[in-house]
Amino acid sequence: MVNLTQSRNFKFLRSLMLAGSVTLFAAGIAVLLAFMWLKPPARELGDLFSYLLISGSVSVLLGVGWLVYAGQNTRLQLQLIVTYLIGAVIALVNIGVTASLMFLSAHDFSLLTLLLIFSGSISIFFAYYISTQLTRQVQQLVRGANQLASGKLDTRVKGGGNRELVELSQAFNQMAINLQTSFEKQRQAEQSRKELIAAIGHDLRTPLSSLRLMTEAIQDGVTDEQQTKLFMGRISGEVAYMSGLIEDLFELSQLDAGALKLRCEPGNLSDLISDTLESMRAQAEVKHQNLCGEIAGHIPQLSFDTRKIQRVLNNLVGNAIRYTPEGGKITLKAWVESGKVLVSVIDTGEGIKPDDFDRIFEPFYRGERSRGREHGGAGLGLAISKGLIEAHQGTISVESSEGKGSKFTFQLPL
């Protein structure tokens, strides 16, 4: 409270000094003009100067006092109108005093007063009009801010009034858009986190419950030798699946946290592509697919982590084999373009449904047709591939036409 009063007093003194200097300057100019136009005797000029200073000081005291103390917390409209009124009353007093000093006739004085009241009324009307416009816009902004604060993030205000107010409304709307976007991003991140946890739970629960059933059956001695052998084979398959899944999850979490350490060394991508073609050929032959490579020109050496890029190639070619029917064709292409090495894996498979398109790089996302474990993997392959390529400062993208095939392309900087 003390601080508030002190700061008001300080503001009053500061405004008084400023307004006082302006009054002094204005009185000086008025005397100079009177001297040039009326050429009065020096004594009258002195009287005029003193009178202007006195009436100016009274006006300044009243005006600044009102604005700093009484008018501080009042409505803008009242503040403007009272300020104009003070101005008009002071002008009226000035004219009255000047008229009596100049011995004007009562008729002239009344006419002057009438004119002053007329022009004063017009000024007050303008004050009222401007303040109404200002107040309306400010109130709209206040309402908008309150709605934003109460969580209605789609609140926008209409821009109107003078340029500053239009700019203020635009800034307000931009702030609301930014708030809404970041809130939406946060909501989506929260949603994906929930989906991720649910997917991990689901992918572990299914193999774990079949492990439990098979071990219980063996323990209870209800399986013969042949069945036990079969179950043991399946148990080791489930264990391998779960360790693969846990390893993938670990890799993904490292990629997410930016903690993955790449062991980059200069290497030849063409060799890696040939190795991939060799290692995946047997898988493709099972489905009688034609797996071939096309390397356009010479691919210069570039720095990359061989194991990680090998993993990306295996994921992409593995997917192409998995999602391409028997007898289809899978092509691995590499070429150099604008300072980058591009690698594409093109298949003549089922393609990707438009609904799946935007989400296939998300962890655990499986296309509609690959939701069963017997058909697809855990849905981590593309998410990991994307993370690994981005860790190499590269990008990965997909083009696909349903029923005709897909083309996954990644770029690595040279």
The stretch among 214-222, 236-244, 280-288, 375-383 that binds ligand ADP (CB under 6 A) is 375-383
- Interface residues for ligand ADP in 299-328 (CB under 6 A)? 315, 319-320, 323
Smallest distance from the beta carbon of 374 to ligand ADP, in angstroms? 12
Cα–Cα dist 337/304, whole Å: 18
Q: 328, 367, 387, 394: which one contacts ligand ADP (CB under 6 A)? A: 367
347 binds ligand ADP (CB under 6 A): yes
Q: Which residues contact 160 (CB under 8 A, 6 or more apart)?
A: 133, 136, 137, 140, 166, 169
Smallest distance from the beta carbon of 405 to ligand ADP, in angstroms? 7
Q: 56, 63, 144, 377: which one contacts ligand ADP (CB under 6 A)? A: 377
Smallest distance from the beta carbon of 278 to ligand ADP, in angstroms? 20
55 binds ligand ADP (CB under 6 A): no
The stretch among 170-178, 208-216, 280-288, 360-368 that binds ligand ADP (CB under 6 A) is 360-368
Classify each residue of 347-375 as buried b or exposed e, where b means 16 or more C-beta atoms within 10 Å of its C-beta: bbbbbbeeebeeebbbbbbbbeebeeeee
Helices (H), 338-380: 354-357
Spatial contact of 346 and 333, defined as CB atoms under 8 Å apart: yes
What is the layout of strands, in order, in the sheet containing 405-413? 290-295, 329-337, 340-347, 405-413, 395-401
Cα–Cα dist 105/99, whole Å: 8
231 binds ligand ADP (CB under 6 A): no
Q: Which residues contact 307 (CB under 8 A, 6 or more apart)?
A: 263
The DSSP letter of residue 155 is -
Give the pairing of strands 395-401 and 405-413. Answer: antiparallel
Which lies closer to ligand ADP via its Cβ, residue 155 or residue 348?
A: 348
Q: 334, 350, 389, 410: which one contacts ligand ADP (CB under 6 A)? A: 350
Q: Which position's Cβ is nearest ligand ADP?
A: 367
Count CB neighbours of 62 within 10 A. Answer: 15
Q: 20, 40, 65, 376: which one contacts ligand ADP (CB under 6 A)? A: 376
Q: 195, 238, 275, 356: which one contacts ligand ADP (CB under 6 A)? A: 356
349 binds ligand ADP (CB under 6 A): yes
Q: 55, 79, 406, 411: which one contacts ligand ADP (CB under 6 A)? A: 406
Q: 144, 207, 381, 387: which one contacts ligand ADP (CB under 6 A)? A: 381
Spatial contact of 389 and 395, defined as CB atoms under 8 Å apart: yes
Amino acid letter for position 109: F
Amino acid letter for position 7: S
366 binds ligand ADP (CB under 6 A): yes
379 binds ligand ADP (CB under 6 A): yes
Smallest distance from the beta carbon of 261 to ligand ADP, in angstroms? 23
The stretch among 145-153, 273-281, 293-301, 346-354 that binds ligand ADP (CB under 6 A) is 346-354
Which lies closer to ligand ADP via its Cβ, residue 339 or residue 372?
A: 372
389 binds ligand ADP (CB under 6 A): no
410 binds ligand ADP (CB under 6 A): no
Spatial contact of 59 and 81, defined as CB atoms under 8 Å apart: no
Cα–Cα dist 409/352, whole Å: 15
248 binds ligand ADP (CB under 6 A): no
> Which residues in 231-274 belong to E strands, given as ranges?
265-267
Which lies closer to ligand ADP via its Cβ, residue 356 or residue 399?
A: 356
Smallest distance from the beta carbon of 238 to ligand ADP, in angstroms? 17
Cα–Cα dist 284/336, whole Å: 27
Cα–Cα dist 125/129, whole Å: 6
Structure tokens at 285: 């032959």
Smallest distance from the beta carbon of 245 to ligand ADP, in angstroms? 10
For residue 267, list its beta bridge partners: 302
Smallest distance from the beta carbon of 367 to ligand ADP, in angstroms? 2
Question: H or E stretch including 287?
Answer: none
Binding site for ligand ADP (CB under 6 A): 315, 319-320, 323, 347, 349-350, 352, 356, 360, 365-367, 370, 376-383, 406
